[in-house]
Structure 1
Amino acid sequence: MTALRIGGSVLLALCLAGCGFELRGSASLPTEMDRTRLEIADPDSRFARELRLLLEANGVRVVDAAAEGAAVLRVSRERISRRALTVSGNARVREYELVFDLGFSLTGPDGTRLLSNETLRLVRDFQFDEQEILGASNEEDLLREDLRRSMAAAVIRRLEAVRTP
């Protein structure tokens, strides 16, 4: 039994190595972002906290005040909206769609525009059953949290692609 487990583990490791799978390391953000001020309407929002954590995890020192020599990551729009996606024959909503729209820009420490007015949009949909209202509400909360995490990761990936002069 032990030999079978070891053999299975070795086979799995070889398959993963052969397909090019690689764990994602830290992002390679522009050096201008070493010290960055995050400007966002609600700095205590769940998304702002998630973005701040990801920035810090990737080596960025997030400063609060208008520190000299700090880049500015400005979030101009952060909105999650819900809309009916499908409606049944008796005019009851069966499926909703959550849409997270985000607008942001990045200015370097010297005031140069590194990223101008970028927009990102993420969409998730979920089934709604009025008989299971509590479950649907919990599912919506989980999807909103997933959207926040996914959006913060998408911002980091976009910042990683910034090429500086």
Structure 2
Amino acid sequence: MRTNLLILPLLILTLLLAACGFHLRGQGGFAFPFQTLFILSPNANAPFIIDLKRAVQLYNVKLVDSSENAQLTLHIVSETMSKQILSLSDAGRVREYQLNYRVSLRAYDIKLDEWVPADEIVLQRYLSYDNTQVLAKEMEETLLYQDMRKDAVQQILRRLSLAKAPPSPQ
């Protein structure tokens, strides 16, 4: 009897979450207005491009090897990472860094009509620094850059899912 009383609220909570459209981050159902995509970038083997290709393929978009065979070309103009010193201690040692991640992009079709105009994704994270934990802070920095890369991929997927062909002139 007691276990039934515990299961009922859990069941109701599960139904309410499902009814409101709740889903885990990264599990959103994107619907793209195109079936084939060509990704043009300066470095096709960059971790960002590999993550982006993998994410696009999860939504049944076929990646093709040239822009002539694609309904849409996603041009990743640049991807840059940088680090700036935010604060110093009294002894002149770094206390905090600001990590920056930028991706410039645009998307167009075979007629060079822009579906996503030239845009830039800018992400920032803050990293406190301690000279006594150099290896741990280097690993934390790497993880923060990976997180920003995943966030940029998700933002690109959102923009591509909202992309529309420009209206044809009449």
Q: TM-score range by the shorter chain?
A: 0.7 to 0.9
Which blocks of at least 5 consecutive residues in structure 1 are unaligned? none
CA distance in 2, matches of 1:71, 1:16: 35
Match of 1:124 in 2: 125
Q: Deviations over 1:100-158 (max 9, x none)?
A: 11110101133212122111101111111111111101101111111111100011111
Question: Which has the larger displacement, 107-116 or 148-157?
Answer: 107-116
CA distance in 1, matches of 2:114, 2:101: 25
Matched, 1:157 2:158: yes
Match of 1:35 in 2: 36
Q: Secondary structure at the match of 2:90?
A: coil
Which blocks of at least 5 consecutive residues in structure 2 are unaligned? none
What pairs up with 1:80-119 in 2 under 5 angstroms?
80-119=81-120
Match of 1:25 in 2: 28
Match of 2:144 in 1: 143
CA distance in 1, matches of 2:144, 2:160: 24
Change (3 A) 1:70 1:15: closer
| TM, length-normalised to structure 1 | 0.87
The one-letter code of the counterpart of 1:36 is L
CA distance in 1, matches of 2:38, 2:70: 10
CA distance in 2, matches of 1:45, 1:69: 21
CA distance in 2, matches of 1:100, 1:62: 25
Q: Deviations over 1:42-65 (max 9, x none)?
A: 111110011111111122111123
CA distance in 2, matches of 1:5, 1:135: 43
> Is this contact kept in 1: 2:88–2:96, CA < 8 A?
yes
Q: How many correspondences in the alignment? A: 162
Q: Secondary structure at the match of 1:28?
A: coil
Aligned sequence identity (%)? 24
The one-letter code of the counterpart of 2:29 is S
Q: Deviations over 1:15-69 (max 9, x none)?
A: 5357x352243212222xx111111111111100111111111221111234434
Q: Deviations over 1:53-98 (max 9, x none)?
A: 1111122111123443442110111001111122112111111111
Q: Which runs of 4+ in 1 moved over 6 A?
A: none
